[in-house]
């Protein structure tokens, strides 16, 4: 009985870890991708103003 409870607790912890990894991946993609897009937009704007 105690072994089954321990397995269920471990499964619950694994689900939480998977959820946190997905959240970290999503936020990293948003911030890094957004930063790259903003940097390219800034470079294009500076290039157009130069001409």
Q: Per-residue confidence of the chain (51 residues) as pLDDT tens digits?
A: 455 555 555 566 666 667 788 888 889 999 999 999 999 999 999 999 986
Q: What are the residue boundaries of the structural domains of the chain, listed by start? A: 1-51
Q: Could you tell me the pTM of the whole model?
A: 0.54
- Quote the DSSP letter at residue 1: -
Token pair of 15 as six digits: 């689900």
Element (H, E) at 24: helix 2-50
> What radius of gyration do the chain's Cα atoms show?
22
């Amino acid at each position: 009985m105690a072994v089954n409870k321990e397995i269920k607790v471990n499964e619950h912890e694994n689900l939480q870890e998977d959820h946190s990894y997905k959240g970290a991946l999503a936020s990293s993609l948003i911030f890094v991708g957004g930063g790259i897009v903003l940097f390219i937009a800034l470079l294009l704007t500076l290039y157009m103003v130069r001409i």
